[in-house]
A and B are shown apart, each in its own frame.
Chain A
């Protein structure tokens, strides 16, 4: 399958993520949309990695492997970010019993 399809798919996913972040009001759903963005990037990196491998495999047997290693790092960092982010959302829920980001206007005055 040509790499173009993967690129279009991941750009579509990425745009869905951005649209979600900008339009939704629920902190958890915004958070899910950010995860969709990160996973779109993962998909794109893997597709490009395969593309570079096919192109340069004759010269360098490990060509394109760095893209896949990057994906692992993104997964680990995303997991760390989830743990901190959910903790922050829970902290807010304990104080105001809501996860609606419309609440976030106390500082604007």
Chain B
């Protein structure tokens, strides 16, 4: 509850700071300080210090899972702001508004991670989506940004329509929006409920860009300004995943036999399309967009399995994937050429940044001793725990092997190819933050319990 209220207030503060303050650096400092405060109050809430006690009639419950997820999101966002806030200046003149929109998105994320009612799910998803439409189109003179924004808006609104129809059909059969009341039934599930659930499954797959509803993702991620792609592809995607898994765990847990096979098929399609298409990309930004689809396929395994391992794994995956991808994007923003060739000889110019980027890429590929390996391991363990569909696990491992190819292409370009990647100017703070990110990725890869113990204690 602390984080929910504070993030909304911070959003308003940022809007005013754009009018009051002339210096861009002071706006940025306020945003970073506010983000730190948000993280602090959320950690305080995990330790039992709730500042506001508001009767929400059981529609929102901040349990351990939600609070830990919010903490991971806030840490990632804090590091993201420290790394990339400077680069938002290039996007447009309304600098403070970008921070305001990011805080509003965080407000939506706290809702989607803690909802107990389909009403809150809908509001949370919309509070995330509407600011994202604006951020995608924030580069107003750039036709690619315009196109990405319009495409994202039309398809996002369409999938919201599908989601609402699903909710309406479920309401018709159950007479309630409460996820706990939805999960109680005795007689055989009727057709309207199954239809509503399928519509919800489709619209949520749409929001997390799972195949066959992924077609908007590469275009939107490619067209959006790179700073905001970094945010969209990591933190927002993980937040929608948490809503997805909570919804199907709490509201449709008893119907698992009805949707499990469908989810398995979507998982396979997502893994194959994401990984195979990423191999053929020439632009690193577009490759990362397809890689985010591929990683979403791995996260879908947690939805498929839906047991304790799956929940722990999803938290770890969120941390591993977000931290690594934010780091890679932070380097990518500094480049002038987004193709693989643009990275040629980068290691000679910037040995430190090249080394940290290599760690992030290894983590995304799932090489042991990085967080990405353990995250994938938890997902596969969870999927094995269901005792069904062994082929799904084997297939996922094969696809992880395919993903090594396109991640290693970047490493190869940085270390083994001659060329002169443009000399990028980075501040010492940027370098130290990259080191912290890389350290976190390795630390979580060796001691995942540093994170997961928070789930229980």
Of the candidates A30, A48, A64, the one whose C-beta lies within 8 Å of that of B154 is A30
Q: Does B126 lie within 8 Å of A107, measured CB to CB?
A: no
B143 at the interface (CB under 8 A from A): yes
Chain A residues whose CB sits within 8 angstroms of the CB of B168 once the complex forms: 10, 41, 44-45, 48
Bitwise, A38-80 to B at CB < 8 A (1) or not (0) is 1011001100100110011000000110110110011001001
Does A21 have its Cβ within 8 Å of any Cβ on chain B?
A: yes
Residue of B with least CB distance to A14: B165
- Whole-angstrom distance from the CB of B197 to the nearest CB of chain A? 16
> How extensive is the interface on chain B, given as a class?
35 or more
Contact of A91 among B126, B146, B158, B219 (CB under 8 A): B146
Residues of A within 8 A of B160 (CB): 38, 81
Chain A interfacial residues counted at CB < 8 A: 46
Provided the pairs A37-B165, A70-B177 are in contact, do residues A44 and B157 lie with their beta carbons within 8 angstroms?
no
- If A85-B153, A92-B150 touch, whether A34 touches B171 (CB-CB below 8 Å) is no
Complex: how many Å from CA A55 to CA B176? 13
Report yes or no: B123 in contact with A73, Cβ–Cβ below 8 A: yes
Q: B144's contact among A44, A67, A89, A107, by CB below 8 Å, is which? A: A107
* Interface secondary structure of B, over-half rule: helix
Do B161 and A73 touch (CB < 8 A)?
no
Complex contact B130–A81 (CB within 8 A): yes
Task: Give the total number of A-B pairs whose CB atoms are below 8 A apart.
Answer: 114
Contacts of A74 in B (CB 8 A): 122, 164
Interface string of A86-99 (1 = CB under 8 A from B): 01110110011000
- CB pair A56–B146 under 8 Å, yes or no, is no
Minimum CB–CB distance for A25 against chain B, Å: 12
Contacts of B140 in A (CB 8 A): 91
Please measure, in the bound complex, the distance between the C-alpha atom of A70 and the C-alpha atom of B437, giving whole angstroms. 42
Given contact pairs A31-B157, A81-B126, a sample of 19 additional A-B residue pairs in the complex whose CB atoms are under 8 Å apart? A7-B172, A37-B161, A41-B161, A48-B171, A51-B172, A66-B176, A66-B177, A69-B119, A70-B122, A70-B171, A77-B122, A81-B160, A85-B133, A88-B150, A91-B137, A92-B146, A95-B143, A104-B147, A106-B143
**Could you give 6 example pairs across A and B, Cβ below 8 Å?**
A31-B154, A40-B165, A81-B160, A95-B146, A96-B143, A96-B146
Interface residue ranges, B against A (CB under 8 Å): 119, 122-123, 126, 130, 133-134, 137, 140-141, 143-144, 146-151, 153-154, 157-158, 160-161, 164-165, 167-169, 171-172, 175-177, 218-219, 222-223
The 8 closest A-B pairs by CB, nearest first: A37-B161, A41-B164, A107-B219, A48-B172, A52-B175, A44-B168, A92-B146, A34-B157
